[in-house]
Chain A
Amino acid sequence: DIQMTQSPSSVSASVGDTVTITCRASQGITTWLGWYQQKPGKAPKLLIYGASDLQSGVPSRFSGSGSGTDFTLTISSLQPEDFGTYYCQQANGFPITFGPGTKVDIK
């Protein structure tokens, strides 16, 4: 199975800041990587797929990069509504696996 790790596990940032979350796969997954945002009590929401493609309707301040084993989610100019937990997910093969999550708090 492909193991996914994320860092940091939590981050607290101010409105307007740039936040960077990293995700690492235990083996190469080319660009089969997605990012989700989840708010408390809600279902996850797809932000980025294919490592860098922005899902329809997602603000352009969210961006993704990377390939192989190392990936990054960047939130530029953090907004109050961006609080929540962010998960990466590999879609290179079954079983599909998620990272442990990164909790983003707004200072």
Chain B
Amino acid sequence: EVQLVESGGGLVQPGGSLRLSCSASGFTFSNYAIHWVRQAPGKGLEWISFISSTDSIRYYGDSVKGRFSISRDNARNSVFLQMKSLRVEDTAVYYCAREPPVAVSATGFFDSWGQGALVTVSS
């Protein structure tokens, strides 16, 4: 069974840092790109970051560029999101989601998601 499990969420003060982890199982992790998508309370979905399967390409949304950093460890089947200089508006549920490789259908889209990790930025 394909599983993605986020961890590391919690309450942090504005200006603080937090590191989210996304642990994968049930598939060949090193073949898949991983994205982070967040959802503020009562709001829609916002894509924030991408890392390719081999860690050769990383992208960020404008709202987090320069503050967040994505990385991965294929030996540990994990992706990480280091978040710094956190703002109140970063409060959201953070999802990691996998993107199938080009050789598989649905590439470009998110075919499996984690359950989400809540990050609350508040003083």
Contacts and interface: CB of A to CB of B under 8 A. Distances in A.
A49 B45 contact: no
Interface in B95-118: 95, 97, 105-106, 108-111, 113-116
Interface residues on B, range: 20 to 34
B44 interface: yes
B15 interface: no
A87 B50 contact: no
Contacts of A94: 50, 59
Contacts of A100: 44
Which bucket holds chain A's interface residue count?
20 to 34
Contact of A98 (B44, B105, B113, B114): B44
Contacts of A49: 105-106, 108-109, 111
Contact of A34 (B108, B115, B116): B108
- Most B C-beta atoms less than 10 A away, residue of A43, A95, A99, A100: A43
Interface string A35-50: 0101000111110011
Interface string A9-42: 0000000000000000000000010101010001
B32 to A, nearest CB: 14
Query: Among A1, A34, A46, A100, which residue has the most Cβ atoms of chain B within 10 A?
Result: A46
Contact of A44 (B61, B106, B113): B113
Nearest to A94: B59
Given A43-B95, A49-B106, A53-B106, A97 B113 contact: no
Given A43-B95, A46-B106, A55-B106, A97 B111 contact: no
Nearest to A97: B47
A87 B105 contact: no
Contacts of B105: 49-50, 53
A91 interface: yes
Contact of B108 (A32, A43, A55): A32
A89 to B, nearest CB: 7
B94 to A, nearest CB: 11
